[in-house]
Amino acid sequence: MSKKQMSRRGLLKSSAAVGVTLATPTIFTSSAWAAGYTNEPKGKTVTLGFNVPQTGAYADEGADELRAYKLAVDHINGEGDGGMLSTFTSKALKGNGINGKKAVFVTGDTQTKSDAARASAKRMIEKDGAIMITGGSSSGVAIATQGLCQDAGVIFMAGLTHSNDTTGKDKRANGFRHFFNTEMSGAALGPVLKNAFGSQRTAYHLTADYTWGWSQEGSIKKYSEKIGWKTAAAVRTPLGAGDFSQYITPVLNSGADVLVLNHYGRDMVNSLTQAVQFGLRDKQVNGKDFAIVVPLYSRLMAQGAGENVKGIFGSTNWHWSLQDAGSKAFVKSFGKKYGFPPSQAAHTTYCQALLYADACQRAGTFRPSGVGAALEGFKFDGLGNGPTEYRASDHQCFKDVLVVKGKENPSSKFDVLEVVEVTPRAQVEYPATMLGGNLGPYNDGA
């Protein structure tokens, strides 16, 4: 009926959608290079979609991601001091936008909920014409958004997501991850824990009861048992439990001498604070000092645990105290603009934005399959993590992993962690087939 009154754009879109369905069998088998692709930038600008948590528990982390994105856009467009562009080994970006088009951006709120994140990403794709979506602060959201971007035919550059599944079981051709994962955390932590605590240890796991928590628990178990540790128990705790004391009291007399907290964000802050309150850090069991391990650290969140983090081991993707040229350039650029150092979330999202822009420039197009091909197997350096490779077979970045420890004598409120060891890439690498999943073909959309 009133379909006839639809706007021209709407009509075009819907008929195009029908057309795509009819053409589905052929579009992926034939070379579709001649056809357009989703949100092909036609004007003088190209729109990037930054989808970060702005409300909820990860709002501060999201705000930091957004700061980094704004910085990256400035640098891509040739404003500011250029940041890591000067240390980045690929020199394709000239500071005049991407493929000669000025980079602009739209923002959205994921609320750290899959539904909200997808709705927000869809808005950017359908309404604002975003060619790429990036951001996020949890694995559930990242996987959900990655699936959406695959369906819509745009590239997804994952933000902070640590679950193996993002580039394992749930990997997609259009999705790319710079952040590390639980497998790498486990592989990096294993030897360090052995050095620090010996091989005669019994670990007690408290695990956030959802996919990321299980993934983390599995990896730590795997590598701690490899160094001879025993696992006393692995107890699942509800997400957002707040008070974890009922799970900590059984640890006291369990005979275990290491507590592994497979928690992130607020859960980590609370469970760690409470474990220390229960005297676990100063406890002696079997003649050994009791130890607490937090496999995934977030400096931003660790501040919430205050002095409780002192001496506690964990891993992180990047830390602002690193002294390589790339990290220094980034910290300088970020600190100058905002007055405080960037978090690991800010770092990974900045890198992702830069890597995407660079790949477009090298490919000479924004077409997802073209950009993807430029990213696959891409080797680079100068972005703060040492020599890094975007592995073609699972779209996961492989680089050194940082093992860190809560600092005993922090010099400022940002100076919470110290780097204990930089685990070389070779030690954390695993075959892509190990985590399962299937990339499938690229989707360029229509």
Partner 1 sequence: MDAILLQVLNGLDKGGAYALIALGLTIIFGTLGVVNFAHGALFMLGAFCAVAVKSVLSLEKVTLDPTKTTAWGTPMEIRVPYIEAWFGDFGATVLDFSVPISIIIAIPVMLLIGVAMERGLIRFFYKRPHAEQILVTFGLAIVLQEIVKSQFGANPIPQPAPDLAKGMIDFGIMVGFDAGNIVYPAWRLIYFLFSIVIITAVFAFLQFTTFGMVVRAGMADRETVGLLGIDIDKRFTIVFGMAAVVAGLAGVMYTPILSPDYHMGMDFLVLSFVVVVVGGMGSLGGAVAAGFMLGILQSFASMNEVKTIIPGIDQIIIYLIAVIILLVRPRGLMGRKGVMEH
Partner 2 sequence: MRNSSMSKNDLILLFCFSAAILAGPIILAPIGAGYPDLLQKFAIFGIFALGFNILFGLTGYLSFGHAAFLGAGSYTAVWTFKLLSMNPLPAILLATLMGGLFAALIGFICLRRSGIYFSILTLAFAQMSYNLAYSVLTPITNGETGLQLRQADPRILDAALGRDYGAVLPSSDFFGIDMTGYPGFYFCAVILIACFFFSMRIFRSPFGMMLRAVKSNQNRMNYTGLNTRPYALAAFIISGMYAGLAGGLLAVTDPLAGAERMQWTASGEVVLMTILGGSGTLLGPVIGAGAIKYFENIFSSFNEGILMKAFDFLPESLQHIMVSISSLFVGEGWHLTLGALFMLIVIFLPGGLMEGFNRLRTWLGNRTGGGDGGAVPDTAPAPSVGGD
Site string for partner 1, 376-415 (x = CB under 8 A): ------------------------------------x---
Residue 269 touches which of partner 2, partner 1, none (CB < 5 to 8 A by kind)?
partner 1
Residue 395 touches which of partner 2, partner 1, none (CB < 5 to 8 A by kind)?
none
Is position 203 an interface residue for partner 1 (rule: CB under 8 A)?
Answer: no
Residue 279 touches which of partner 1, partner 2, none (CB < 5 to 8 A by kind)?
partner 1
Print the SS3 string covering the chain: CHHHHCCHHHHHHHHHHHHHHHHHHHHCCCCCCCCCCCCCCCCCEEEEEEEECCCCCCHHHHHHHHHHHHHHHHHHCCCCCCHHHHCCCCCCCCCCCECCEEEEEEEEECCCCHHHHHHHHHHHHHCCCCCEEEECCCHHHHHHHHHHHHHHCCEEEECCCCCHHHHCCCCCCCEEECCCCHHHHHHHHHHHHHHHHCCCCEEEEEEECCHHHHHHHHHHHHHHHHCCCEEEEEEEECCCCCCCHHHHHHHHCCCCCEEEEECCCHHHHHHHHHHHHCCHHHCEECCEECEEEEEECCHHHHHHHHHHHECCEEEECCCCCCCCHHHHHHHHHHHHHHCCCCCHHHHHHHHHHHHHHHHHHHHCCCCHHHHHHHHCCCEECCCCCCCEEECCCCCEEECCEEEEEECCCCCCCCCCEEEEEEECHHHHCCCHHHHCCCCCCCCCCC
Q: CA quadruple 234, 238, 242, 247: dihedral positive or negative? A: negative
Is position 32 an interface residue for partner 1 (rule: CB under 8 A)?
Answer: no
Is position 210 an interface residue for partner 1 (rule: CB under 8 A)?
Answer: no
Q: From the CB of residue 276, how many other CB atoms can be counted at a distance below 10 Å?
A: 20
Residue 307 touches which of partner 2, partner 1, none (CB < 5 to 8 A by kind)?
partner 1
Residue 122 touches which of partner 1, partner 2, none (CB < 5 to 8 A by kind)?
partner 2
Could you say which of 41, 78, 335, 437 contacts partner 1 (CB under 8 A)? 335
Could you say which of 269, 346, 371, 397 contacts partner 1 (CB under 8 A)? 269
Residue 115 touches which of partner 1, partner 2, none (CB < 5 to 8 A by kind)?
partner 2
Nearer of residues 210 and 414 to partner 2, judged by Cβ: 210
Please report, as ranges, the residues that interact with partner 2 according to CB under 8 A.
1-3, 5-7, 10, 13-14, 17-18, 20-22, 24-25, 28-29, 54-55, 59, 62-63, 105-109, 113-116, 118-120, 122-124, 126-128, 138-140, 143-144, 147-148, 150-151, 165, 170, 209-212, 236, 238-239, 438, 440-441, 443
Min separation Cβ 232 and partner 2, Å: 21
Read off the tokens for 406. Answer: 């809560």
* Binding span for partner 1 by CB under 8 A among 129-137, 265-273, 402-410, 438-446: 265-273
Residue 21 touches which of partner 1, partner 2, none (CB < 5 to 8 A by kind)?
partner 2
Residue 277 touches which of partner 1, partner 2, none (CB < 5 to 8 A by kind)?
partner 1
Residue 247 touches which of partner 1, partner 2, none (CB < 5 to 8 A by kind)?
partner 1
Is position 242 an interface residue for partner 1 (rule: CB under 8 A)?
Answer: yes
Nearer of residues 36 and 240 to partner 1, judged by Cβ: 240
Tally of CA atoms within 13 A in the half-sphere of 441 that contains its CB = 9
Q: Which 50-89 residues touch partner 1, going by CB under 8 A?
A: 56-61, 63
Is position 346 an interface residue for partner 1 (rule: CB under 8 A)?
Answer: no
Is position 270 an interface residue for partner 1 (rule: CB under 8 A)?
Answer: yes
d(CA 435, CA 426): 17
**Radius of gyration for the chain, computed over Cα atoms and rounded to the nearest angstrom:** 22
Is position 305 an interface residue for partner 1 (rule: CB under 8 A)?
Answer: yes
- What residues make contact with partner 1 under the rule CB under 8 A? 56-61, 63, 209, 233, 235-238, 240, 242-243, 245-247, 249-250, 252-253, 266, 269-270, 273-274, 277-279, 300-301, 303-308, 320-321, 328, 331-336, 339, 341, 412
